[in-house]
C-alpha cells in the first residue's frame, strides 16, 4: 500500500557546540489503504527541546503538474505529558493515491541523549535507510548493532568538529560513523515475543564519560549500577517519596480495618485499599509526580510510580517489610545489565516479604490480584532500590499459572437437541483476563457474546458469575444452556 523511499538520520554538532538530531524521511503512497497508516505523525519530546520541522504532501494531477501542500502551523498540536515531556502531532493534508509525503525535522537535544536508530518501520518496508553519527574523540562512546538483517555497509572516518565561541573557532578531532541498510522489511512481531523493540534492527550506543566541547574536565555519565541506585535515592521524585510515613500512619489510623488481621491479611487489605482509592492515568513511570505524595493521594489519580509509592508508604506504616524496585515494561524493551543507565527503566513496583513468603506487588492495574503482576511486567529484571551495593537484581517470576477447570453435564434427546449445564472455574491469569473483559461490559451481554462465539447456536437459559469483584477467590461461572440439533 505504501513504501518508505528513504529514511536518513544524522547526529552532529552545530556551530554553537550543541548536539543536533536531523532526519529526512520520504514515503510513496500507492493506494487509499495506506491513508490510515501514514496520515498521522507524532513526536514525543522533552519540554525543553527545540523541534523545527517541515512536512508536505506532493501530488501530481492529470496534466502531470506537481503540487505541494505544506503542513501549516495551525495544523500542529502539542499535548503536555508527565515528566517534563510533550507530544507534538500533525496530519498530512491532501492525501491522494500516488502522492509522496516528505518530512524533515531537526531536534536540538541534550548532550548525553544520543538516540537509538531503528532501521525498520513498524508499518512499511524501507528502500534506503541510513544513520550518520558524529562523535568527538574525547567522548568514551561505544556503538552496537543488533538485528536480524545484515547491514549493507558500515564505515567510519575522521571528522573535525568546529564551533564558534565569540569570535573564535574551536576545532576538535572526531569520528563520523555511517550505517546503511537497503530493502529492510517492515517489522512484524511474532507471538509470545517478550519485548518487540528488542528485535528491531537498530544501532544503540553507550556513553560512559565525556569532556564537554570547550571544557577540560571529564564528566562521568554513569559509572556502575551502584551509581544508578544512588541517583534514584537522591532524587526528589524517588528517594524523597520513600520518606513520607507520618501522613500514611495517620491514614491507617483513620482506616483501622486495614490493620486488624495478620501481616498477610493486612498487606492484602492495604493493597485492595490502594487499588480502590487510586486510579491509574495510563502512564508508566519510575518517578513520582512533582506534587507531594499526600496531594497525589487526595486527588486519587496518578502514574504507576505515584500509586506504588502510596502503597509502599502504607505498607511501611503497617509494619510490612517492603523493598522498592525499578524495571522496564515489555514495550519499553529489555534491560541490558552490562550497560548501567537509569534511562532503561520506566516503571516502579514493590517486593514484599511476609513471613517465609515473598510477593511482587503493583497496584497500578485494577484487576490484578495481590501477589500477581500484569503480564507487561512478567519475566523482567528489576533493579533493587536498597542501600546494599551488592544486591542488584531480582526477576519477576510469578508462581501463578493460567488455570481453567470445566465440568459439564450434557443430555441429547432423540431429535438431536442438546441441553445441559457447565461450571467453569478460573484462577490466575485466566481469571484476570476474564475479569478484565467482564468489568468493561454488561455481564449478560459479555456471557452471551463470549459463548455465542464458541457455539453460534447456543441458547443461554441462565447464568451466574461468582467472585467477579473479589479477585482473591477463583472466578466461577455457572451456565445452563441449549443447543438445537
pLDDT for 256 beyond 70: yes
pLDDT (average), residues 36-42: 92
Query: 10-24, 93-107, 163-177, 304-318: which has the minimum mean pLDDT?
Result: 163-177
Question: Residue 387 CA to chain centroid, in angstroms?
Answer: 27
Do the beta carbons of residue 278 and residue 307 sit within 8 Å?
yes
> In the β-sheet with 475-483, what is the strand arrangement from edge to edge?
402-412, 418-427, 475-483, 459-466
What are the two backbone dihedrals, phi and then psi, of residue 33, each rounded to the nearest 5 degrees? Answer: -65, -20
Do the beta carbons of residue 400 and residue 372 sit within 8 Å?
yes
pLDDT digits (tens, 9 = 90+) for 190-245: 888 888 888 999 998 877 788 876 677 888 777 789 888 988 998 999 998 988 77
Q: What was the pLDDT predicted at 141?
A: 82
Query: Beta strands 381-384 and 50-60: pairing type?
Result: unpaired
Q: What was the pLDDT predicted at 14?
A: 81
pLDDT (average), residues 120-127: 92
Q: Which of 245, 247, 267 is nearest to 351 (CA)?
A: 267
Listed in sequence order, the residues at least 6 apart from 457 whose beta carbon sits closer than 8 Å to its beta carbon are 483, 484, 485
What is the model's pTM?
0.82
Q: What was the pLDDT predicted at 317?
A: 94
Q: Which of 201, 197, 206, 205 is nearest to 333 (CA)?
A: 197
Q: Which of 111, 99, 90, 95 is nearest to 13 (CA)?
A: 111
Say how far apart CA 124 and CA 194 lie, in whole Å: 22
pLDDT digits (tens, 9 = 90+) for 271-292: 999 999 999 998 899 999 878 9
Indicate the angle between helix axes 304-317 and 263-277, nearest 10 degrees: 150
Listed in sequence order, the residues at least 6 apart from 296 whose beta carbon sits closer than 8 Å to its beta carbon are 288, 289, 302, 306, 310
Do the beta carbons of residue 380 and residue 354 sit within 8 Å?
no
Q: Which of 428, 230, 239, 232 is nearest to 327 (CA)?
A: 232
Q: CA angle, 258 as apex, 255 and 260 as ends, to 5°?
A: 110
Q: Give kind and range of the element (H or E) at residue 254.
A: helix 245-254
Q: What was the pLDDT predicted at 116?
A: 84
Say how far apart CA 92 and CA 57 lie, in whole Å: 6
Do the beta carbons of residue 325 and residue 362 sit within 8 Å?
no
Say how far apart CA 118 and CA 147 lie, in whole Å: 10
Task: Give one word for 192, left, alpha or beta, with left for phi > 0 and alpha for psi -120 to 50.
Answer: left
Query: 51-55, 93-97, 131-135, 437-441: which has the minimum mean pLDDT?
Result: 437-441
**Cell numbers describing residue 28:** 510513496
Say how far apart CA 248 and CA 312 lie, in whole Å: 10
Q: Which of 188, 182, 320 is nearest to 249 (CA)?
A: 320
Q: What was the pLDDT predicted at 110?
A: 56
Listed in sequence order, the residues at least 6 apart from 110 whose beta carbon sits closer than 8 Å to its beta carbon are 19, 46, 49
Amino acid at each position: 500500500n505504501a513504501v518508505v523511499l528513504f529514511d536518513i538520520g544524522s547526529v552532529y554538532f552545530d556551530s554553537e557546540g550543541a548536539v543536533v538530531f536531523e532526519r529526512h524521511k520520504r514515503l510513496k503512497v500507492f493506494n487509499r489503504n495506506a491513508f490510515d497508516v501514514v496520515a498521522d505523525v507524532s513526536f514525543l519530546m522533552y519540554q525543553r527541546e527545540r523541534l523545527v520541522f517541515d512536512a508536505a504532501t506532493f501530488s501530481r494531477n492529470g496534466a502531470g503538474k506537481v503540487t505541494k501542500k505544506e503542513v501549516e502551523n495551525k495544523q500542529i498540536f502539542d499535548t503536555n505529558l508527565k515528566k517534563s515531556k510533550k507530544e507534538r502531532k500533525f496530519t498530512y493534508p491532501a492525501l491522494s493515491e500516488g502522492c509522496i509525503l516528505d518530512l524533515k525535522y531537526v531536534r536540538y537535544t541534550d548532550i548525553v541523549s544520543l538516540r537509538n536508530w531503528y532501521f525498520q518501520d513498524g508499518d512499511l518496508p524501507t528502500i534506503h535507510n541510513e544513520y550518520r553519527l558524529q562523535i568527538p574523540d574525547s567522548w568514551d562512546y561505544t556503538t552496537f548493532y543488533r538485528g536480524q538483517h545484515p547491514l549493507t555497509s558500515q564505515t567510519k572516518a575522521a571528522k573535525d568538529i568546529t564551533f564558534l565561541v565569540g569570535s573564535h573557532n574551536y576545532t576538535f578531532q572526531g569520528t563520523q560513523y555511517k550505517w546503511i541498510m537497503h530493502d529492510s522489511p517492515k517489522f512484524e512481531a511474532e507471538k509470545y515475543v517478550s519485548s518487540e523493540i528488542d528485535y528491531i534492527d537498530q544501532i544503540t550506543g553507550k556513553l560512559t564519560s565525556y569532556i564537554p566541547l570547550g571544557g577540560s574536565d571529564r564528566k562521568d555519565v554513569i559509572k556502575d549500577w551502584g551509581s544508578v541506585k544512588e541517583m534514584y535515592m537522591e532524587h526528589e521524585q524517588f528517594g524523597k517519596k520513600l520518606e513520607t510515613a507520618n501522613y500514611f500512619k495517620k491514614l491507617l489510623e483513620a482506616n483501622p480495618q486495614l490493620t486488624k488481621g495478620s501481616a498477610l491479611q493486612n498487606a492484602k487489605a492495604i493493597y485492595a485499599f490502594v487499588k480502590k482509592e487510586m486510579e491509574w492515568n495510563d502512564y508508566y513511570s519510575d518517578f513520582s509526580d512533582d506534587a507531594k505524595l499526600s496531594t497525589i493521594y487526595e486527588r486519587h489519580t496518578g502514574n504507576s510510580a505515584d500509586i506504588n509509592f502510596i502503597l509502599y508508604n502504607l505498607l511501611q506504616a503497617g509494619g510490612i517489610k517492603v523493598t522498592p524496585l525499578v524495571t522496564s515494561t515489555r514495550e519499553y524493551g529489555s534491560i541490558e545489565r552490562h550497560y548501567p543507565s537509569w534511562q532503561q527503566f520506566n516503571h516502579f513496583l514493590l517486593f514484599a516479604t511476609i513471613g517465609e513468603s515473598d510477593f511482587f506487588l503493583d497496584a497500578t492495574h485494577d484487576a490484578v490480584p495481590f501477589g500477581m503482576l500484569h503480564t507487561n511486567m512478567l519475566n523482567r529484571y528489576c533493579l533493587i532500590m536498597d542501600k546494599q551495593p551488592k544486591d542488584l537484581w531480582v526477576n519477576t517470576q510469578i508462581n501463578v499459572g493460567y488455570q481453567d477447570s470445566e465440568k459439564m453435564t450434557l443430555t441429547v434427546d432423540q431429535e438431536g437437541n442438546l441441553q445441559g449445564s457447565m461450571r467453569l472455574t478460573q484462577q490466575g491469569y485466566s481469571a484476570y483476563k476474564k475479569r478484565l473483559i467482564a468489568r468493561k461490559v454488561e455481564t449478560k451481554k459479555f456471557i452471551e457474546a463470549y459463548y455465542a462465539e464458541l457455539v453460534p447456536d447456543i441458547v443461554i437459559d441462565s447464568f451466574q458469575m461468582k467472585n467477579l469483584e473479589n479477585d482473591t477467590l477463583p472466578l466461577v461461572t455457572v451456565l445452563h444452556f441449549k443447543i438445537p440439533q
